[in-house]
Structure 1
């Protein structure tokens, strides 16, 4: 046994997991030292989630050896794993929304102590100590459902610490956080590491986790393909190891001189959301709109598509007024909208892939007697799925069976089948892996080259810089700045957002 393995808190050797003949993990070795932060990277389907489930005892391995805390674990389940100090913080945080902060933090500790009666004062003391340990102040008595996302995450971290966590696994820890909140979280992680608590990050936002990680492990198709100090990796090299291909971000081609104005927005306002929004969008232009959480960017996106009715102002497409607050009118005017939350707003998850694409053009595929022409639906949908490189074993499979990146392309295919003049993309790469993200950026550039006006609404600054000709910065519901995409760095844009 290696010296590294002897002193590791987590020491996995030759981990293999098969599901009905499909190999999800193939001979993976993985170690985590006390106080070490490890970035576990890989595309969707690479085996990251399976590895985390094995460490936390949710899944049983097919072959291999597991040691946690210096002890062999031939039998492992969630209770044993948690007792050994392994805690997982999922994207939804798995908190009790109707309970208070202190009850959420201390609940598991009180339960594991096997006390006959719940001790309120003891629970408050446990919660206060956990909050003090990471140096944050949150009202102990407030209900968790009323907290902002960043505070919910801190409550989840404190719950893990109250349960004597020695390893905290964070699944996409920065997805819903603002830049300021991410900075704060990374500071807390450094504080935990100084206390000897190890951390595993599973994240698509690679630049952020590289900043605080000592080691990077990359999985691809169930195998470990790269491992080394975080200092030896950058986002480009990580992307290469994760996908097996180079993915340079080429800037968008220039908007042709004299390009026609597609969309004009004048004095658009919605009380409590945004005010005095004015801009023009030209044919073939990609306009980025960014702002911190609460800046009004999402309300504006929905207002442009008619999902939010503004109090005043006007929207024109091709010189014609578009009725505001009316998504059907927006559709007929040639406006398309891909929402940020594709799972609840963008897809019919239980329906087939082909139906999710074809629903955008049911009028075109309607035959005599009101019946749909199935062959025409399938032919058109298959064409768009091929063009957008959707990886699907069967177009009749439910869309929920696809990865996040492929689901996003299905939503894009639905709107592109309507030949929109203006396409609004709200968080186009949220929750997708690095390979799909690069492909989506390439699709945006292709749409721009075809003369479609694209509006990209995102807080992902590298994404905006890779796709946008112009970028509008929003704060407190107003546009506070406008920059050319090729004339600003990521650091300068972040400064404009925060200032």
Structure 2
């Protein structure tokens, strides 16, 4: 059955708000430390009713930590929080919710085995005369909420059966259902298509018109200038500045975020394109993608463009043996190979950075050291049946320094790192295996501009050293800036392969859009 679609409309017009009104939320002198590392240092911040206040900063700048303090997840080590001019203590997330502060996390927290309606009204379910949950009323309330937000999802549908985008909308509806005064959105569009982003912005404008104060964390500059009234920039745990979005340029924001100018976001190093390393012929996964053929050469970055759901990630997973192909063939260095498991792919010199850091990338309860070395344990770091732990540890440390992974210790659990530093650690994991073919699925998703530039520079340097790179990205500037050739996918079909010189945004959109 086809999943219900999310309603969409033309791009909403940004509502002009009064920046001079009284503060709805005031944060004063907040300090927070973790194991002696200062995450927030004397941070102050204000949110006004009926405004969208964007938070910008590199990964690890302190944005998410501050939001977790405001939403009651973390207790601050110093400072005060005022809501409507009255000092409050936010000891737990439930205490924050009771005071009208709700947070939509980047990593969704819905319960897959439960229905949409049950997820939205958990702890607040309507009861019948016998004290049992009144499911009819539960669904009626959900339908009314969805009608207000123009969301077209069946309230009785299991959350586990929804797409990531529709789960995001359910999470948003859940937060709205609390009638919150303050709504925190952490990277809400990271999994949404362009049409779904339009819909989200309409919801935001509706809430803003009702007087809700919205804190909006994003790494996407175009969203900042389209939806935000005010912008606060954080760097290294400190508040750098707050300005009206109308008074800023993109370069202003980047300069404040990183403390320097970034003159080249896509530092493409000229690379000598060598022989064909990987040949894919008529690769098919029944019902998902069909008849995919291309060659990949040493030193080449092959960008893969397509809309969400086009099958890009499925193609990458099949090449790496996660989901074996129904038909078709692959050749590595001209030799026919059957890749039916990731282990086989790794034996052929392949490495695969997956799209989802949390679910398929990081082992969140393991250390950075353990996460980085886990793929390399069978890649030459053993002698006489024993792992050469010292040599492996030294290699991990060398890569940590080269990739600039910000952490006080390699023994820190990877769950405590920012998203960008987690991503860099995962790239380090695969570089330890000394691959010849590197598949990167959304390598800079949810990463700030400074970390993006570092990762772009690293990818370009790896290609210059002779690695063959397949890079999937939903950001056209990234595809155009980094690729030697661009392969376009639409509804599971290969629609074109463009050389760097002929590729532009219009041509790519013509090939990927329906």
Common fold, TM-score beyond 0.5?
yes
Match of 1:11 in 2: 26
Shift of 1:285: 1.0
Q: State the 1:363 CA deviation.
A: 4.9
Contact kept, 8 Å, 1:404 with 1:431, in 2: the verdict is yes
Residue 130 (structure 1) aligned to one of 145, 149, 153: 145
CA contact (8 A) 1:28 1:223 kept: yes
Listed as ranges, the matches of 1:45-56 within 5 Å are 45-56=60-71
Secondary structure of 2:426's aligned partner: helix
* Counterpart check, 1:360 vs 2:389: no
Corresponding residue for residue 459 of structure 2: 444
Flag the 1:488–1:211 CA change in 2: closer, same or farther, 3 A: farther
Alpha-carbon spacing, 1:492–1:165, altered in 2? closer, same or farther (3 Å): farther
Q: Deviations over 1:381-422 (max 9, x none)?
A: 333333333334333544444433333333323333333221
Residues 268 and 457 in structure 2, CA contact (< 8 A), matched pair in contact too: no
Decide which moves more: 342-351 or 152-161: 342-351
Deviates more, 1:300-309 or 1:187-196: 187-196
Deviates more, 1:16-25 or 1:194-203: 16-25
1:300 deviates by 0.6
Q: What is the RMSD computed on CA atoms of the aligned residues?
A: 2.9
1:212 to 227, 234, 242: 227
| SS of equivalent to 2:290 | strand
Q: Secondary structure of the equivalent of 1:9?
A: strand
Cα offset for 1:166? 2.2
Secondary structure of 1:360's counterpart equals: coil
Deviation at 1:277? 0.6
Measure, in 2, the Cα distance between the counterparts of 1:220 and 1:322: 48
Candidates 319, 331, 335, aligned match of 2:350? 335
1:153 is matched with 168
Q: Is the 8 A contact 1:469 1:484 kept in 2?
A: yes
**Residues 144-179 of structure 1: CA deviation (Å, up to 9, x unaligned):** 222222222222222233321222111221122222
Aligned to 1:316: 331
Equivalent position SS for 1:325: coil
CA distance 1:349–1:156, change in 2 (3 Å) = closer
**Structure with more helix by fraction:** 1
Does the aligned pair in 2 maintain the 1:338–1:412 contact within 8 Å?
A: yes
Cα distance in 1 between the residues matched to 2:165 and 2:135: 25
Aligned to 1:281: 296
Normalising by structure 1, what TM-score? 0.89
Change (3 A) 1:300 1:20: closer
| Unaligned residue ranges in structure 2 (runs of 5+) | 1-17
Residue aligning to 1:387: 402
**Matched residues in 2 for 1:66 and 1:392: separation?**
28
**Could you tell me whether the CA contact under 8 Å between 2:444 and 2:455 is conserved in 1?**
yes
What residue number does 1:420 align with? Answer: 435
The 1:379–1:91 alpha-carbon spacing in structure 2 relative to 1, beyond 3 Å, is closer
Report the counterpart of residue 43 of structure 1 in structure 2: 58
Residues 1:200 and 1:331: Cα distance change in structure 2 (over 3 Å)? same
> 1:14 is paired with a residue of what secondary structure?
strand
- For 1:433, the equivalent position in structure 2 comes to 448
> How far apart are residue 348 of structure 1 and its match?
4.4
* Unaligned residue ranges in structure 1 (runs of 5+): none
Q: Is 2:468 the counterpart of 1:453?
A: yes
Please give the secondary structure, in 2, of the residue aligned with 1:414: helix
Which stretch of the first structure deviates more once superposed, 323-332 or 470-479?
Answer: 323-332
The CA deviation at 1:445 is 0.6
SS at match of 2:231: strand
Decide whether the 8 Å contact of 2:186 with 2:218 is kept in 1.
yes
Contact 1:207/1:234 (CA < 8 Å) preserved in 2?
Answer: no
2:91 is the alignment partner of 1:61: no
Tell me how far apart the structure 2 counterparts of residues 312 and 117 of structure 1 sit (CA, whole Å): 52
Say if 2:305 and 2:508, in contact at 8 Å, map to a contact too: no
Deviation string, structure 1 residues 417-437 (Cα, Å, up to 9, x no partner):
333221111121233333222
C-alpha contact 1:41 1:219 (8 A) present in aligned 2: yes
What residue number does 2:13 align with? none
Structure 1 residues 308 and 444, CA gap change in structure 2 (3 angstroms): same
Bigger shift: residues 33-42 or 53-62: 53-62
1:110-121 to structure 2, matched below 5 A, reads 110=125, 118-121=133-136
TM-score (norm 2): 0.86
Q: Distance in 2 between matches of 1:397 and 1:15?
A: 24
CA change 1:62–1:250 in 2 (3 A) is closer
Alpha-carbon spacing, 1:364–1:77, altered in 2? closer, same or farther (3 Å): closer
Aligned to 1:272, which of 266, 282, 287?
287
More displaced, 18-27 or 124-133? 18-27
Map 1:156-195; keep pairs closer than 5 Å.
156-195=171-210
